[in-house]
Chain A
Amino acid sequence: MNPTVVGLRAGVRRGGIEIRQSLVNVQDLWNYFFPNLTFLVVMFFMRDATVPGTTFSLSARTLPSVLGGGLAFGALVTMMMALTIEREDGTLLRAKAIPNGMLGYLVGKVVQVSGMTLIGSVILVIPGVLLVDGVELRGPGAWLTLLWVLVLGLVACLPIGAILGSLFANPRNVGVIMLPIMGLVATSGIFYPITTFPVWLQWIGQAFPVYWLGLGTRSALLPPELAAVEIGESWRHLETFGMLAGWAVLGLVVAPIVLRRMARRESGSSVAARKEKAMQRIN
């Protein structure tokens, strides 16, 4: 039996086990439901507002937008948090002490974070489509678009999360990066059409994958007329594919280098030192 295949399979199993654990854990359930229920409540209250220049419901536009933006945000932040926390608590060191353990660990994280993010999406979308009108998958083309946008979006965002996660040794410092990420979501036209923002802000939004994921999910779930309020009055599928794929390639090239560097530094004494530090903060 090929040890690498064994490591890969163990990783997939590991991800599955950790997804299952997240479904019976109060903290994780809260993380699944709280943000999504908040979005749904907000959408409910703005059900009478319309997209500027159209008669289309603003909340119906927001739902697919939040699906894409939330997926990007969830994948990025969950991956980042998981890596910093599990480096501090020694999970990563355990993986390092086991043959092909690092491979299994990383595959497990990808499966776990993807799964958890998609579960969050389902929790948002199912009540969402019942709540607002005009959001639907019109034909197999729309299904296909949704599929490739979600998959490519995850592949673009997970490595960025892993890179950010390996930069912070202390989970309590992650807050430093959380604010810019939230700011990025705000400038990415998730909650309000990006065309209403100043042009320089539009350029910042378009540089990152969050905007493109939101655009992609909107293109799959909204009627074609709504493309009129987007930049260039088009869903820009080619550009979406190009930008998401670009980020994915960049991430997949850089992440292994950064992760390897991070893993190399792990040892019993580095985990012990972090434990010592964390204990001091508690006392």
Chain B
Amino acid sequence: MTIAETPGRTSEPAGSPVEQPVLDVRDLRMRYGSTDVLTGVTFTARPGEVLALLGPNGAGKTTTIEILEGFRMRSAGEVAVLGADPAHGDERWRARLGVVLQSWRDHAKWRVRELLAHLGSYYLPYSTDQIRRPWDVDDLIDAVGLNPHAGKRIGQLSGGQRRRLDVAIGIVGRPELLFLDEPTAGFDPEARREFHDLVHRLTDLEQTTILLTTHDLDEAEKLADRILILAGGSIIADGSADQLSRRMSSEAEVKWSRDGQRFVHATTDATTFVRELFQQYGDGIADLEVRRASLEDTYMALVRDFESGRSLATLREFEEASR
């Protein structure tokens, strides 16, 4: 599938058309004992792109991300992260990555500002003319909205504040590539909104490439330029939210009322349908509402298709074997 930009986002950096991908994954395989978790994952990410990796539990999202982070050895396949193999990434390579970890109770005695300043100091020798490392501590605390808590002990932070600190630690070295594994799990709607604003700021100002996993499809649609759906150990769909819903040729739902009566109609061509509706009834139409298939609808359809396809394949294998 070809890659297209989502309108309204300007994440295309000025540069040559043959620029190096930030992530280049080809036929990545992972096997634990006799279980294949990843059976051939292939995708790329360009600088400044935000990718969301979706998929049912156990599909291999976390395994994929941990291989890319260099925290897990792969069984087979070619992987280049910022041009290097993560299995042999050196400290210089590590300094260009950001990993947002799900913290629990580490560094409980440290104060927020103290820890960020300490962890930032490791990045100092990796500062370049283009990217000043580390992020200035006060600016960073400001950016993640931890200003009122900068002097607090980390053990006293609330869950949402801790997650903001996790993000701050992940980006303290001004990473060129950031990994976010379920960043907003357990957030309330307000914290989630603030987190989304932060991610937008990162991609707009810093040109950071982001790979995130989430179960929140709404979040994926809001944040990601491109969505990858991982199921059964491989990528079954790759494209923008719009492309995915178009690929499923799903129908839009048109609702309206006329003479106090409510109507609902499902159509694949909502524009034509609405035009005809107005031509026919003109001012009689009220409360018009057009709802495109949401990412959730598309996602459910894709995963369901994939799973029924897999069960068909199993059935065929079974029939062939019993012949």
Contacts and interface: CB of A to CB of B under 8 A. Distances in A.
Interface in B90-123: 91-92, 94-95, 97, 99, 101-107, 109-110, 114, 118-119, 121-123
Contacts of B66: 267-269
State the main secondary structure of chain A at its contact with B: helix
B121 A6 contact: yes
A182 B112 CA distance: 38
A173 interface: no
A101 interface: yes
Contact of A6 (B92, B107, B122): B122
Given A99-B91, A271-B101, A94 B72 contact: no
Given A13-B118, A99-B126, A100-B91, A94 B109 contact: no
Nearest to A7: B122
B308 interface: no
A2 B125 CA distance: 7
Contacts of A104: 122
Given A98-B94, A98-B173, A268 B102 contact: yes
Interface residues of B, number: 34
B62 interface: yes
Contacts of A266: 71
Contacts of B126: 3, 99
Interface in A218-274: 266-269, 271-272
Interface residues of A, number: 32
Contact of B104 (A1, A96, A275): A275
Most chain A C-beta atoms within 10 Å of own C-beta, residue among B62, B65, B66, B71: B71
Contacts of B69: 97, 267-268
Interface in B166-191: 169, 173, 181
B124 interface: yes
A21 B108 CA distance: 10
Contact of B101 (A97, A99, A101): A97
B125 A1 contact: yes
A25 B104 CA distance: 20
A135 B71 CA distance: 53
Nearest to B94: A99
Contacts of A115: none
B81 to A, nearest CB: 14
Contacts of B123: 98-99
Interface stretch (A37-45, A53-61, A83-91, A184-192): A83-91
A169 B267 CA distance: 57
A272 B118 contact: no
5 contacts: A94-B169, A99-B91, A100-B122, A271-B101, A272-B102
